[in-house]
C-alpha cells in the first residue's frame, strides 16, 4: 500500500481491492475523519505496465480525476504537457493520469472554467463551431490545444478545489457513467449498481447519464445536478 498526502485535507491511498473492505480495514469510518469527497476505484490499471501508482484516482493541486476507458491519444498528450515546463506534469505511469493534468492546465494555466475543459479534450466539430456563440475563441482553442484532444473511449469523473464534482464523456460515448443522489449526498459511478450500493434511497428517475456534449456538475452545496452543454455560450475569463 502507498499513501500520498501532499495537499491540505487530502489523503490518497493506492491499493487493490474492494473499496468498502479496504475502508473498513483502515477504519475510514472513524468520526474524527471527515471528508466531503471520496473517490475510489478497486482494481489495478489495465493499460500499460501494471503499477500501483497508476491506480486511480490521480491528483494535482486540488484537481483530481479518475477514468473508465482507454486514452489512445496518450503519447501526444503526454508530450505536450511535459513540454509546458511545469514540474508537476510528470510521472505518467498510466494513460489516464493526463486527464487530471489537462484539467489543471485548462483551469489554472488557461484560466478556463469547467465548461471549457470539455472544449479542450473534445472540441466541437467544425460545423458546430461555426454557429457557436464563442466561435472565434473556440476555434483558436481547438487549434492551439489540438495535442490535448482525446480519442477515447473515455468517461472522466473529476473534482475541483472548490469541492465540485463533474463527469464528462468523449464523443464515442462507449463507456458507462451515471450521476445520482439526493440533496446533501451525490454519487458518480461507472455503473448504476454502484449508485444503488451507496445511495439506495435516492429517486432513481432523476439519475443522469451524461451524453457526449454534456458536463454534469454537482456544486459544493450538494443540492442538485446541473448540465452544461458544449453548444451553450462559454463562461470566458475576463
pLDDT, tens only, 117-135: 999 999 999 999 999 999 9
pTM of the full structure: 0.90
Give the domain ranges of the chain. 2-229
Mean residue pLDDT of the chain comes to 88
Please give the share of the chain, as a percent, with pLDDT higher than 90: 60
Comparing C-alpha atoms, which of 105, 111, 97 is closest to residue 41?
97
| Of the listed ranges 3-12, 48-57, 139-148, 174-183, the one predicted with least confidence | 48-57
Task: In whole angstroms, give the CA distance from residue 194 to residue 86.
Answer: 36
Give me the pLDDT at residue 48, please: 60
Contact partners, residue 112, CB within 8 Å, separation at least 6: 106, 119, 120, 236, 237
Q: What is the pLDDT of residue 157?
A: 95
Q: Is the pLDDT of residue 203 over 90?
A: yes
Indicate left, alpha or beta for 39 from its phi (over 0: left) and psi (-120 to 50: alpha).
beta
pLDDT digits (tens, 9 = 90+) for 8-44: 888 887 776 777 788 888 888 888 887 778 888 766 6
Of 52-56, 120-124, 187-191, the poorest mean pLDDT is in 52-56
Fold of 2-229: 3.60.20
pLDDT of the residue at 149? 95
pLDDT at position 173 is 75
pLDDT at 45: 58
- Whether residue 234 has pLDDT greater than 60: yes
Which range, of 44-58, 171-185, 194-208, averages the lowest pLDDT? Answer: 44-58
Residue 84 has pLDDT above 70, yes or no: yes
Task: Name the phi and psi angles at 150, rounded to 5.
Answer: -90, 160
Amino acid at each position: 500500500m502507498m499513501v500520498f498526502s501532499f495537499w491540505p485535507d487530502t489523503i490518497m491511498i493506492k491499493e487493490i481491492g474492494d473499496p468498502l473492505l479496504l475502508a473498513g480495514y483502515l477504519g475510514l469510518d472513524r468520526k474524527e475523519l471527515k471528508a466531503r469527497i471520496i473517490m475510489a476505484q478497486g482494481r489495478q490499471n489495465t493499460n500499460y505496465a501494471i503499477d500501483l501508482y497508476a491506480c486511480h484516482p490521480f491528483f494535482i493541486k486540488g484537481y483530481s480525476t479518475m477514468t473508465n476507458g482507454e486514452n489512445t491519444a496518450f503519447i501526444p498528450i503526454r508530450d505536450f504537457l511535459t513540454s509546458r515546463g511545469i514540474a508537476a506534469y510528470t510521472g505518467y505511469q498510466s494513460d489516464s493520469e493526463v486527464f487530471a493534468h489537462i484539467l489543471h492546465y485548462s483551469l489554472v494555466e488557461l484560466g478556463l472554467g469547467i465548461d471549457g475543459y470539455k472544449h479542450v479534450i473534445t472540441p466541437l466539430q467544425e460545423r458546430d463551431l461555426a454557429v457557436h456563440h464563442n466561435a472565434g475563441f473556440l476555434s483558436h482553442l481547438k487549434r492551439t490545444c489540438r495535442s490535448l484532444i482525446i480519442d477515447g473511449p473515455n468517461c472522466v469523473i473529476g473534482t475541483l478545489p472548490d469541492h465540485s464534482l463533474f463527469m464528462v464523456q468523449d464523443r464515442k460515448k462507449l463507456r458507462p457513467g451515471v450521476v445520482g443522489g439526493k440533496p446533501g449526498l451525490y454519487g458518480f459511478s461507472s455503473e448504476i449498481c454502484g449508485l444503488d450500493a451507496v445511495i439506495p434511497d435516492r429517486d432513481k428517475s432523476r439519475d443522469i447519464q451524461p451524453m457526449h456534449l454534456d458536463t454534469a456538475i454537482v456544486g459544493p452545496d450538494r443540492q442538485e445536478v446541473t448540465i452544461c452543454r458544449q453548444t451553450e455560450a462559454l463562461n470566458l475569463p475576463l
